[in-house]
Amino acid sequence: MGQAISRDYQNRDLHLVGVLRGAYQFTHDLSGVLEVPHSVDYISVASYGESTRSSGNVQLRMNVKYPVTGKDVLIVDDIIDTGTTKSCGEVDSWLAMIFKF
């Protein structure tokens, strides 16, 4: 996977955005095997509350610390069950950028 991402993002401004907490370790490990310059940041979102099912209402609990404008953003999430992370306020505003899911 690291080789494929490195190939796809050669000569581009890659910014990994890991979704906490589940994707922290994978984002860290993935970053370590990438062969292209990149930056790493994290967001925290919630849609489950106290339930075991997603409410469909995604709340951004922690936003990225570094600007993503003009960067190719690769969101690293551990579980894609409802696909609603990408519809969360700030994340939705990045849709003009390149996403690979």
The catalytic residue positions are 81
Q: Is 70 left (phi over 0), alpha (psi -120 to 50) or beta?
A: left
CB 38 within 8 A of CB 24: no
CA distance 59 to 36: 32
